[in-house]
Structure 1
Amino acid sequence: MANVDLLYRTIAHIETHPYDHDQQWWRCGTARCFAGWASFFAGGRFVSSEDDKNHIVASNGVRNFRASTVRTPDGQLLHVADHAAMMLGIDDRDADALFSPDNTVTVLRRMVNNLLEYGSTDGDPTPVEQWRAVAHQ
């Protein structure tokens, strides 16, 4: 189930502070993409400067650029997108869609609304409650 509070907080911040949003980069100066802000609001902190191209092995065993790695509140090292998806409570498919560098703020808002109403970024016309009812029959 999606983390409603974190979805709302992230999209509200992006809409209210458009100069702090850059969907092309996990972070660039003080700007961040949707995943960068979601991770930040969930307590993730980048472990190095944004231009650090050295690698680090994350807690899940994956090698990442240090610049795209965050330390979580419990001390894990994770890629910012992995941390954001986990904290948002979304699957890989929805994370890939939501974190795409091509998304505008308008598209992000629509995806957040779709996640909240239908349980997926693509706006499946079957509301989550109906899907769950059918899936559990």
Structure 2
Amino acid sequence: MAEQTLIRRPNVSLLRLVLTHIEMHPHQWNQRDWRTLSECGTAYCFAGWTVVLSGGKFAVNPYSNQICQTRVVPAGVDPTDVTKWQHVAEYAADLLGITPPIRGDAVIHPLFLAINTLDDLRRVVAELCEAAGA
């Protein structure tokens, strides 16, 4: 039996939506953290905004009642079903149609790097959109 290869196509409309949101609301963007509180409310990185703008939510720990910083509840999933929670980078990568991160050796997609500037995000999004033929 031949091995099947999964070919992912970037979700151009979501990539552009998230980038535009960050450009329009830079005070709500913090690339260093998936989710953080700021003077202006909650700020998210590119992956965090991908989750939120797609209807997902950051999970709430049922024991401490605190918001988890790395686990999210995908849109349409029962938030009490912890077996369905996902890591923010994995879920965001899936939504964006990009290669998910490899956690074993800490490889992460360039779009999610904490050191990215807004210009870096623009460049990576443009490269992904171009690769998708958009």
Tell me if TM exceeds 0.5: yes
Report Cα offsets for 1:19-55 as digits up to 9, x if no partner.
0000000011110000000111112101138xx8x9x
Determine which structure has greater relative contact order: mean sequence separation of CA pairs < 8 Å that are 6+ residues apart, divided by chain length: 2
Using the TM superposition, give the Cα deviation of residue 4 of structure 1 relative to its aligned residue in structure 2, in angstroms: 1.1
Bigger share in helix: 1
| Residue of structure 2 aligned with 1:77, choices 56, 77, 85 | 85
Match of 1:125 in 2: none
TM-score under structure 2 length normalisation: 0.72
Match of 1:23 in 2: 31
Match of 2:127 in 1: 114
Aligned length: 108
Q: Distance in 2 between matches of 1:16 and 1:117?
A: 22
8 A Cα contact 1:85 1:95, kept in partner = no
Q: Distance in 2 between matches of 1:66 and 1:92?
A: 20
Instruction: Flag structure 2 segments of 5+ consecutive residues without an equivalent.
Output: 1-8, 78-83, 102-106
- Please tell me the root mean square deviation across aligned C-alpha atoms, in Å: 2.5
Report Cα offsets for 1:83-117 as digits up to 9, x if no partner.
10000000136952100000001100010000001
The runs of at least 4 aligned residues of structure 1 exceeding 4 Å deviation read none
TM-score under structure 1 length normalisation: 0.70
